[in-house]
Amino acid sequence: MDEPVLAIVVPCYNEEEVLTETMKQLTGLLADMVREKQVSEKSRILFVDDGSRDDTWKMIYKESIKGEFIRGIKLARNVGHQNALLAGLFAAKKTSDCIVSIDADLQDDIDVIQKFIQKFKEGYEVVYGVRDRRDTDTFFKRTTAEGFYKLMKKMGVNLVYNHADYRLMSRRAVEELERFGEANMFLRGIVPLIGFQSTSIYYDRKERAAGETKYPLKKMLAFALDGITSFSVTPIRMVLLVGCLSFLVSLLFGSYFLSLKFFGHTESGWTSMITSIWLIGGLQLIAIGLVGEYIGKIYKETKGRPKYIIDIDTFNLAVPQPLLGEEGAFEHDGIQERDAFSYAAGKLSETK
C-alpha cells in the first residue's frame, strides 16, 4: 500500500502570537513523518483563517506560497471554531486519505499524530485524541468542561469523554460527515453518530503555547447551550415535567386554601401570593425561553445558509474573482497579493 496522504487542519482565529511556533513544529513533524515513510510527501498542513483581525492570514499566506507543506484558506469572515474546522475538513478531503484536526495553540501533543496514523493504517476510520489529565487548564475551565461532559451524558448525548476536536478522520468519514446537513454542527456529538470503526489515543494536555484563549466564558456558554439543544430534547421534557409538578402542587394548595376558607379562617395571604407569582412567572419565562431556543434552531435550519464562505484558497488553488479589494490587498516581497497569488498558483501547481 502507498503511504496515505495526510492533511492536518488547523483553525486559527487571531493566532499571530503562536502561529510561527505552530507552523515550525507541525512542519517539522510532517517532514519527519514523510522521511520515515509514514505518510505520503503529498501531505499538507492546512491553516484555516477564521476571519482574524490580526496578521494571521498574512503569515499563513506567506508560508503557503513557498510551495512546501503549508497551505491556507481564508474565510470571508469569522464563523466560529466548528465551522472553520468544517471548511478545512471539506476542502482537504478532496486530495487526502486522512485528515487530522488540531487547535492552533499547541495545547494538544502533536506527536500523537503519528499514533493516529498507525491506528488509521490498522483500519480505524476515526481516531479520537483524549486528554488524560487537564492539570494545565485553569481550575475553572477544568470543572466547567468536565461538568459539561457529564451533563451531556445525562441528557443522552453520546460524547467521547474529555475529547475535544483533536482527531483523525478518514476521507470516507469526512464524506459521510458532509451529508449531515444541519446548520448547527456540533462536531463532538456528530462524529460518533457516523458510526465507523473508531478508537481513542490518550495524551496529556499542555498549556497554550502563546496568546489567549479564544473561548471566553460567553462563547463557552453559547457553545454548551448549542451542544445541548442541538442534540437533545431532554430540557424541553424537563420543563414539561416541572409544569406538571407545579400544576399538581397548585391543586394541593388550592384545595388546602379552599378548605381553610370554608372550615377555618383565611389569612390576608400576601406573602404566599407574591412568592407564587414570582415562582410561576419565573418558571414560565424559563420554559418560553427554552422553547424559543429550539424554535431558533429550527429557524436557522430552514434558512439553510452556507456555514462558511471561502475568500482565498491556496489548498485547492481556487482563484476567486475578484480576489481582494484594494483595502485588503497587501504586499509580499514587493509583489501585490493579487499577482503573488497567480505566481503562487503557478508555483504550487508545479510542485503538485
Say which residues have a Cβ less than 8 Å from residue 305's Cβ, sequence separation at least 6.
Answer: 183
- Segment near Mg ion (CB under 5 A); pick from 16-24, 101-109, 196-204, 236-244: 101-109
- By CB under 6 A, name the one of 11, 88, 227, 235 that touches ligand UDP: 11
- Segment near Mg ion (CB under 5 A); pick from 58-66, 99-107, 255-263, 298-306: 99-107
Give min distance, CB of 103 to ligand UDP, in A.
4
Taking CB within 5 to 8 Å according to partner kind, which of Mg ion, ligand UDP, none is near residue 80?
Answer: ligand UDP
The count of residues interacting with Mg ion (CB under 5 A) is 3
- By CB under 6 A, name the one of 81, 131, 163, 188 that touches ligand UDP: 81
Give min distance, CB of 130 to ligand UDP, in A.
15
In the bound state with ligand UDP, the residue whose beta carbon lies nearer, of 92 and 344, is: 92
Task: Give residues 15-34 in contact with ligand UDP (rule: CB under 6 A).
Answer: 15
- By CB under 5 A, name the one of 105, 109, 165, 337 that touches Mg ion: 105
7: β partners: 44, 99
Q: Tell whether residue 14 is a contact of Mg ion (CB under 5 A).
A: no
In the bound state with Mg ion, the residue whose beta carbon lies nearer, of 49 and 105, is: 105
- Could you write out the three-class secondary structure of the chain? CCCCCEEEEEEECCCHHHHHHHHHHHHHHHHHHHHCCCCCCCCEEEEEECCCCCCHHHHHHHHHCCCCCEEEEEECCCCCHHHHHHHHHHHHHCCCCEEEECCCCCCCCCCHHHHHHHHHHCCCCEEEEEECCCCCCCHHHHHHHHHHHHHHHHCCCCCCCCEEEEEEEEHHHHHHHHCCCCCCCCHHHHHHHHCCCEEEEEECCCCCCCCCCCCCHHHHHHHHHHHHHCCCCHHHHHHHHHHHHHHHHHHHHHHHHHHHHHHCCCCCCHHHHHHHHHHHHHHHHHHHHHHHHHHHHHHHHHHCCCCCCEEEECCCCECCCCCCCCCCCCEECCEEHHHHHHHHHHHHHHHC
- By CB under 6 A, name the one of 202, 215, 330, 343 that touches ligand UDP: 215
- By CB under 6 A, name the one of 5, 6, 9, 12 that touches ligand UDP: 12
- By CB under 6 A, name the one of 25, 144, 213, 234 that touches ligand UDP: 213
Give min distance, CB of 143 to ligand UDP, in A.
14
Give min distance, CB of 94 to ligand UDP, in A.
21
**Long-range contacts formed by 22-30: CB under 8 A, 24+ apart:** 22/104, 22/105, 22/106, 22/209, 23/47, 23/59, 23/63, 23/70, 25/106, 25/110, 26/69, 26/110, 27/68, 27/69, 27/70, 29/110, 29/111, 29/113, 29/114, 30/6, 30/69
Residue nearest to Mg ion (CB): 105
Site map 247..286 versus ligand UDP, x via CB under 6 A: ----------------------------------------
The count of residues interacting with ligand UDP (CB under 6 A) is 16
In the bound state with Mg ion, the residue whose beta carbon lies nearer, of 18 and 348, is: 18
CB 236 within 8 A of CB 292: no
In the bound state with ligand UDP, the residue whose beta carbon lies nearer, of 15 and 97, is: 15
Q: Tell whether residue 313 is a contact of Mg ion (CB under 5 A).
A: no
Q: Tell whether residue 84 is a contact of ligand UDP (CB under 6 A).
A: yes
Give min distance, CB of 107 to Mg ion, in A.
4
- By CB under 6 A, name the one of 3, 63, 97, 105 that touches ligand UDP: 105
Residues that bind Mg ion (CB under 5 A): 103, 105, 107
Residues that bind ligand UDP (CB under 6 A): 11-13, 15, 50, 78, 80-81, 84, 103-105, 107, 213-215
